[in-house]
Structure 1
């Protein structure tokens, strides 16, 4: 019998004590990952905040550019790199340490290849926006911004696998330090480039690229020279290329699971430009989505914690440990999302000023905030469920769920409410919110019905087959 399957005496303690102990383990992973995720998101949203004070045109064009960069680039790379939360996490739990480094290199090479066609798409953003019916001024400014963001795309392709490499080993201090340092560099640099050099919104794009590349360089150096990475650091060999097929088999559904929801949100931003007074509607919805993205750092940290714990436990053959981790994280997620939503609601009259000085925009943000608060709760819960999916390896089920929830329910309802009623921007948001509710219900059912004993067996069998294939 596998050692991980043996019930040790301490496992017979009352459930609340087991959950409390698991919450501590999750907290040691989740808390640093919250800060890491928040600092990486803030690279984008501090740029929006600074550019927003240049006027509505700068705010709306930069918001659309960042939305497009997320839709066609950053979300895709983040989703694909999430495959390592299954592959590296379970390999580390099974003590196949060399495989962790090999799979990380495989992910980096694979994502750099993916970046090449993405860069061509970014280069012709202005033309794409004009074809979609956006105004010429917004299209021109957004095109300039995203073209200057291309170097950041390649940095992101390296950064995301590196973050997963450290995350799956619960080695989070270097990731935290490098992310905070990159953010601290970005803030004064972005301010100087936007306001002092005459570059305007282009300065924000350049600053984002510098911040991401500085993060990459630090983590690569740490991975290469730190003694703590010695057991998982492996030389680059042909095994890196042999593993590309397996990586894509997990990366594609991982990306689809993340991107389907991300794309639905960004689609709402784009079609808001077709409403009457497009600069106002786009700015309001961009601020709401920016708020969700910022507070999403907390449930994403929870998701990182539970994916690490679940994948490590399944790789070690400990199904009971994986189940306890899921139960513990759901308690934390419900408490956290409720608190954050209440904070946003009680500050609904003022938080819009963080992004802009335009009173009309702030007033519309205040009006839509109740729906925003419900969205915060739904997004927090689904983010946590998605972490469970990545740890177990059923990303394909998450992809099907997101497809049905947002593209068969959420977006059609949003279009009807936004363009066929007087709700306009509020209607778009309500439609996406309905999709999120359907998504959370579906993911919760899948999570409750998961057989962790079966998943532990499948993980160990797959890892054993891979090990034999390399011999």
Structure 2
């Protein structure tokens, strides 16, 4: 089926479809609907509803292009984590790789004024590039023509012939009177040459031309355009992910130079903190991706704050058992890990980090409170402050104050407490306060639906987390030096993953938007561009890790044994960087197509049925140690990239458009 034929059978959509009406990768959320319905029943009668449609869906077409130039990526579809991943990446993890949505997505999200404005800007740009409306800037001739035209305009007195205006423009000059026929409004590349877009960029005209162009299959895109869009979307995301990951890397840099025991202890402590704490917070908080977005989409803005407040209280309650585990971590780890001195230091680390755990739980909830309102850049602004401050505190506490190993967890705890404070200040003084209902006892009730909705997210995040944290635990059985080397290798691998993963998120958003607008051919072009971008990033990471394999270990440690071990294993980690980037890209495309369940099943099989058995068998059975642990990961990532790539190659993109249309109609 050709794109034109399919377009004629499918009602053309707008570029805000996938962000507003229904996420392409959404599923029904009866638990969320029941929870919100119960909150609506309990809502006081005098509580103003303040529906979104009355405030945010009014078009303001007088805004300039500069005001409209905010990237679409800053307001991703609900459920696509534009600014932060679902879990805090640790240096012991190989990135956020799961594509199964970790929480049910909202079925309806009303398009905001910003959504509509950005969508109109993109539509106008596509119409311009396809020569359906004139260019943005009026075309100018040579200097003499321009000067003559300006002189004529200043000396002319235009008016309309006849009292009724017959559509003929008369330009009176000193020598002659010329009648110029006004050209049809629907003719492409015509209109007033002195106005931007020929004066054809009115909302009504753009809507008409967009509908006609989509139905006739005239909307095409180019590699250059998609590369530009992908770069604009992913740029802020890469920066945000690198800043968030630097919170962990700063501790590695400072503690690693104290010794290999300290470096191994940080690795073990972070593994324990991720499995038993941070992954729990992030997994449970994913329910807010549904609850807050549905509350905001229904026009009940105060319910967004209520759901967030309820989650904060719940996560604080969960902190009690987490705290018990962390306080007893020293005794627990000494029974699991053969290196007792490493276990002791890891226990000390967890006891100090526990101070910041409630702050981190609050930050995870506050992020989603802001994301539900489309304020995705708030986290970036906060990280721009906290990331440099965290690095400075690590250096100050560990080396200048001579606190040694405990200086690193103190810096982490302070940063975790500072993150939510800055977000609260953002809400109070910048944006987002209109959704806060104030502190209320209603947040202490109706926890049941929220918990049931959060459990799938918790299980998925924990399954993903555990698959890679097992490698760190396994490395501890090879000795202190291999454990320290494992932390460096995992840090570098995760650091390089912070580039292709945000690019995959940007690709997911772009493809979802194009699919929602019934532009299957344009979505395929965007997917191809994303694939080649992933290949380029993968090759860059391979060259980076391979060429600097003898230099990068010195950034983390001064121990010769650890440096030598990292330098020997790093080429293996570099070898699978291409597969890593491609698998991330394929996951993003699958999310954009609404087929993320395919990637989820593929990854779960490859990680647990392939990676873990191969890693353990080669590491312990063949005595390959670290080589064996990473060999299983390399094979699994290769299988993921190959399997998902074949699936995408055989995908019917027109069918994806029809599926998206059906989901939107059901919403």
Tell whether the 8 Å contact from 1:313 to 1:319 is kept in structure 2 after alignment: yes
Residue matched to 2:630: 429
What RMSD over aligned residues (CA atoms) do the two structures have, in Å? 3.7
Matched, 1:142 2:343: no
Residue matched to 2:393: 189
Tell whether the 8 Å contact from 1:257 to 1:395 is kept in structure 2 after alignment: no
Residue matched to 2:554: 353
Matched, 1:151 2:352: no
Q: CA deviation at 1:407?
A: 1.4
Shift of the 285–152 alpha-carbon distance from structure 1 to 2, 3 Å rule, reads same
Q: How far apart, in 2, do the equivalents of 1:253 and 1:434 lie?
A: 28
Residue matched to 2:603: 402
Give the SS at the match of 1:274. helix
Higher helix fraction (1 or 2): 1
Q: CA deviation at 1:300?
A: 2.9
Tell whether the 8 Å contact from 1:320 to 1:452 is kept in structure 2 after alignment: no
Give the SS at the match of 2:499. helix
Matched, 1:305 2:506: yes
- Pick one of 560, 568, 589 that aligns with 1:367: 568
Q: How far apart, in 1, do the equivalents of 2:390 and 2:457 lie?
A: 29
Residues 339-365 of structure 1: CA deviation (Å, up to 9, x unaligned): 122222111111111101122212221
Tell whether the 8 Å contact from 2:263 to 2:487 is kept in structure 1 after alignment: no
Tell whether the 8 Å contact from 2:262 to 2:345 is kept in structure 1 after alignment: yes
Shift of the 20–387 alpha-carbon distance from structure 1 to 2, 3 Å rule, reads same
Matched, 1:440 2:652: no
Q: How far apart, in 2, do the equivalents of 1:312 and 1:235 lie?
A: 33
Matched, 1:263 2:481: no
Residue matched to 2:404: 200
For structure 2, list consecutive stretches of 5 or more residues without a partner in the other structure: 1-10, 18-206
Tell whether the 8 Å contact from 2:352 to 2:409 is kept in structure 1 after alignment: yes
Residue matched to 2:201: none
Shift of the 385–127 alpha-carbon distance from structure 1 to 2, 3 Å rule, reads farther
Residue matched to 1:340: 541
Q: CA deviation at 1:187?
A: 1.6
For normalisation by structure 2, the TM-score amounts to: 0.60
Q: CA deviation at 1:279?
A: 0.9
Residue matched to 2:417: 213
Q: CA deviation at 1:274?
A: 1.1
Residue matched to 2:242: 38
Q: How far apart, in 1, do the equivalents of 2:293 and 2:648 lie?
A: 19
Q: How far apart, in 1, do the equivalents of 2:501 and 2:471 lie?
A: 22
Residue matched to 1:174: 378
Residues 12-34 of structure 1: CA deviation (Å, up to 9, x unaligned): 567552x5444444433422222
Residue matched to 2:166: none
For normalisation by structure 1, the TM-score amounts to: 0.82
Matched, 1:67 2:271: yes
Matched, 1:128 2:128: no
Shift of the 127–32 alpha-carbon distance from structure 1 to 2, 3 Å rule, reads same
Shift of the 172–132 alpha-carbon distance from structure 1 to 2, 3 Å rule, reads same
Q: Bigger shift: 330-339 or 417-426?
A: 330-339
Q: How far apart, in 1, do the equivalents of 2:253 and 2:576 lie?
A: 22
Q: How far apart, in 2, do the equivalents of 1:157 and 1:235 lie?
A: 20
Tell whether the 8 Å contact from 2:339 to 2:480 is kept in structure 1 after alignment: no
Residues 394-433 of structure 1: CA deviation (Å, up to 9, x unaligned): 6655443333111111111111111122422111110122
Tell whether the 8 Å contact from 1:53 to 1:356 is kept in structure 2 after alignment: yes
Residue matched to 1:235: 437
Which aligned pairs between 1:73-152 and structure 2 lie closer than 5 A?
A: 73-81=277-285, 98=301, 108=312, 111-152=315-356
Give the SS at the match of 1:235. coil
Residue matched to 1:296: 497
Tell whether the 8 Å contact from 1:80 to 1:255 is kept in structure 2 after alignment: yes
Shift of the 246–456 alpha-carbon distance from structure 1 to 2, 3 Å rule, reads farther
- Pick one of 621, 630, 638 that aligns with 1:420: 621
Matched, 1:411 2:612: yes
Q: Bigger shift: 161-170 or 37-46?
A: 161-170
What is the count of residue pairs matched by the alignment?
Answer: 454
For structure 1, list consecutive stretches of 5 or more residues without a partner in the other structure: 465-471
Tell whether the 8 Å contact from 1:167 to 1:308 is kept in structure 2 after alignment: no
Residues 270-320 of structure 1: CA deviation (Å, up to 9, x unaligned): 111112xx1111111110100112222212322443455566778xx5454
Tell whether the 8 Å contact from 1:89 to 1:311 is kept in structure 2 after alignment: no
Q: CA deviation at 1:156?
A: 2.5
Q: CA deviation at 1:239?
A: 9.0
Shift of the 113–43 alpha-carbon distance from structure 1 to 2, 3 Å rule, reads same
- Pick one of 275, 280, 283 that aligns with 2:484: 283
Q: How far apart, in 1, do the equivalents of 2:604 and 2:395 lie?
A: 39
Shift of the 457–54 alpha-carbon distance from structure 1 to 2, 3 Å rule, reads same
Q: How far apart, in 1, do the equivalents of 2:512 and 2:437 lie?
A: 24
Q: How far apart, in 2, do the equivalents of 1:410 and 1:154 lie?
A: 34
Q: Bigger shift: 350-359 or 323-332?
A: 323-332
Shift of the 312–102 alpha-carbon distance from structure 1 to 2, 3 Å rule, reads farther
Shift of the 254–329 alpha-carbon distance from structure 1 to 2, 3 Å rule, reads farther
Q: CA deviation at 1:198?
A: 4.2
Q: CA deviation at 1:453?
A: 3.5
Q: CA deviation at 1:140?
A: 0.8
Pair member with larger Rg: 2
Tell whether the 8 Å contact from 2:348 to 2:406 is kept in structure 1 after alignment: yes
Q: How far apart, in 2, do the equivalents of 1:460 and 1:300 lie?
A: 27
Residues 347-400 of structure 1: CA deviation (Å, up to 9, x unaligned): 111111110112221222121122111333333333344445666776655443
Residue matched to 2:581: 380
Q: How far apart, in 2, do the equivalents of 1:9 and 1:108 lie?
A: 49
